[in-house]
Amino acid sequence: MIVGILIKKSQVKLTALGILIFAATTSIMAFYTGEGSEEVAEEISTVSESVIHQHEENAELFFKMTLILGAASLLSFAVELKKSKYSHYFILVVVALAIADGFLAINTANSGGEIRHTEIRTETNQPQQEEHSEEQE
């Protein structure tokens, strides 16, 4: 998208917008498959409810932002096709939304990784386990 803005090529901007629209559409499927994955993750003894819940909250926010980005991209696509004098502003809004959505994606992916990779969990997301000292063993 940024390259399309810099080189002032409508085809590049339209391609980028098309990719964002496609991503928003496929995010619907990705989001709704999470419930089944949650049930599987709940059966794993090293996974706490709080870690799953945090990932679910992050995923919901990311999903909503992705849908907003998709809608803005669709609108910008139409405005760009009409060669409106305002299309540049629409494109800039999409770029800002895409950057924000990227940060939400990173946050959601990280919280998802914490579900299975206990070594990356923060102290507050660690499941409560009994501490065993070497002396007791």
pLDDT at 135: 45
Split at pLDDT 50, 70, 90, the class of 132 is: very low
Asked whether the predicted pLDDT for residue 73 surpasses 80, the reply is yes
For 30-62, how does the pLDDT look when each residue is reduced to its tens digit (9 = 90+)? Answer: 888 877 777 777 777 677 778 888 888 999 999
- Whole-model pTM? 0.78
Higher-confidence residue of 103 and 33: namely: 103
- Give me the residue spans of the domains in the chain: 2-118
Q: Return the closest-CA partner of residue 14 out of 4, 24, 26, 25.
A: 4
Query: 111-114: long-range contacts (C-beta < 8 A, 24 or more apart)?
Result: 111/51, 111/54, 111/55, 111/58, 112/55, 112/59, 114/51, 114/54, 114/55
pLDDT at 126: 53
Asked whether the predicted pLDDT for residue 96 surpasses 90, the reply is yes
Percentage of the chain lying above the pLDDT 90 cut: 47
